[in-house]
């Protein structure tokens, strides 16, 4: 078991195939054996292009507003306090509508492709 204050978890600027290079997105993570908690902080207009992954995802909008596009659903705006559940392999994309918008995500199991940001997570 690890105890840590969120403010001490390093932030990593994200460069990923699903993120256009002009988008400014920071990531903080806590990683366990079977799950991952990821806090994403976005500049206004930052985007994550359409993608899918085998891990289930729960998104909790902690701050700001986003526009989400989810496979099989109409485009939708969400804001502080909204929660979205993504089943495995469902395509989705998002755009930040406000500076400093934050999306707190839980992945189960953890996303292997994000583990490259080793300085941005805790692992026991």
pLDDT digits (tens, 9 = 90+) for 8-56: 888 888 877 777 778 899 999 998 889 999 999 999 999 999 999 999 9
Token pair in block for residue 69: 């596009």
Give the whole-angstrom CA distance, residue 79 versus residue 92. Answer: 17
pLDDT given for residue 20 in this prediction: 78
Residue 119: phi and psi, rounded to 5, are -80, -5
pLDDT given for residue 66 in this prediction: 98
In this prediction, residue 124 has a pLDDT band, given cuts at 50, 70 and 90, of very low
Sign of the Cα torsion 20, 81, 110, 93 reads negative
Q: For residue 45, give Cα distances in angstroms to 23, 34, 41.
A: 7, 32, 12
Does the pTM surpass 0.85? The reply is: yes
Give the whole-angstrom CA distance, residue 41 versus residue 97. Answer: 12
pLDDT given for residue 118 in this prediction: 55
pLDDT digits (tens, 9 = 90+) for 58-80: 999 999 999 999 998 889 999 99
């Amino acid at each position: 078991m690890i105890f840590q204050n969120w403010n001490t978890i390093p932030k990593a600027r994200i460069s990923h195939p699903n993120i256009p290079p002009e988008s400014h997105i920071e990531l903080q993570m806590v990683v366990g054996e079977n799950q991952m908690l990821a806090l994403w902080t976005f500049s206004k207009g930052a985007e994550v292009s359409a993608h899918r992954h085998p891990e289930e995802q729960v998104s909790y909008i902690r701050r700001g507003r986003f526009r989400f596009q989810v496979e099989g659903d109409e485009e939708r705006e969400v804001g502080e306090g909204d929660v979205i559940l993504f089943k495995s392999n469902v395509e989705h994309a998002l755009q930040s509508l406000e500076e400093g918008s934050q999306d707190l995500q839980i992945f189960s199991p953890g996303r292997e492709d994000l583990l490259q940001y080793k300085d941005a997570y805790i692992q026991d």
